[in-house]
Chain A
Amino acid sequence: MSAIAENVQGNAQLDAWLDKKLDELLPTKLEEIDASKTPSMSIIATKGTLDWAYPPFILASTAAALGWDVTVFFTFYGLLLLKKKISADVSPLGNPAMPMKMPFGPQWFQDFEWPMPNLLMAGVPGFEKVATGLMKKTFKNKGVATVEELRSLCLEADVKMVACQMTVDVFGFDADDFIPEVSDYVGAASFLPVAQKSDICLFT
C-alpha cells in the first residue's frame, strides 16, 4: 500500500473514532455547560400605567432573586417607570376587561363586580384618579408590593435598567428626570445583541 492510501485510511479511522467519542462525551459536556451558565432575561417595558408597571418589575425582581442576569429596556411610556417619582395611574379607558371592585366595606360589597361599562367610567371626569386609588388600595390590602418597592428591590438585586435614548429625546425628557441607577441610554442596536444572548426575552 502506498503511503498516501495508508494515510487516507488512517484519517478515516481517526474520524470514526472521533465521531464515536464525541457522541459519548457531548451530551454530558453540554449538560455541564448548561448547568454552569447563569440564566439571563431581557424585558422590554413599553407601558407606563399602574397596571402595566407591575409585570416587568415583578418578573425582573423575581428573576434576580433566582440569581439570573436581568436587563430591562424602557422605551416609550415605559420610560415613565424610571422617573424619580413614579406617578403611574390606571385608566378604565381601553381596558375593557378591567374588573371594578371595591377594596372596602363588607365582604359581599367587596365581592360585587360593578356592572359599569368601561367607556362610561372612562368618560367620567376624575374617574381615572378614583380607579387608580381603588387599585392601589386593593393591591395594598392583598399584600402586593408597590411599584416603587418592586423597583428598588430590582435595583438592589442588580437588575440592569437601560433607557431608550430615542424616546427620551422624543418626549423631551432629561436624564435628571430619571433615577440615577439607569445604567445606559441606548438604542435598539445596543439592546438587540443583549436580547440575542438572553435565554428569555419578553415584551411588556
Chain B
Amino acid sequence: MTVIAEKLDARGMNCPLPILRTRKALNLLESGAILEVITTDPGAVKDMASFCTQTGNRLVSSTEADNSYIFMIEKA
C-alpha cells in the first residue's frame, strides 16, 4: 500500500496549470514521498509522464476513473 504524503486537486485546470501546480507541490515534499495528483485535463496524461521523465521524479502510476486522471508521483 502506497502512503500518499500529499494530494493535489487540479481538476478543472488546463495546460500548463496541472504541471505547474505539481511542480510546486513536489517542491514541498521530501525525497521518496508520494504525491497524488487528480486532473480532468486529458492532455495531462502525456504531459505528466513527460514532466516526470524530464525531472527525474518517478511516475508510479497513471490511471483514469470517472473522467478524471490520477497520477502517483514519487519525488526524486
Contact = CB atoms under 8 A, between A and B. Distances in A.
Interface of A: 58, 61-62, 65-67, 142-145, 153, 157
Give the size range of B's interface with the partner: 10 to 19
A145 B21 CA distance: 12
Closest 5 CB pairs of A and B: A65-B23, A143-B14, A62-B16, A143-B12, A66-B54
Contact of A143 (B17, B19, B20, B22): B17
B54 A61 contact: no
B55 A142 contact: no
Contacts, number: 35
A interface: dominant SS: loop
Interface of B: 12-17, 19-20, 22-23, 40-41, 51, 54-55
A65 B16 contact: yes
A67 B20 contact: no
B23 A157 contact: yes
Contact of A144 (B14, B19, B51, B55): B14
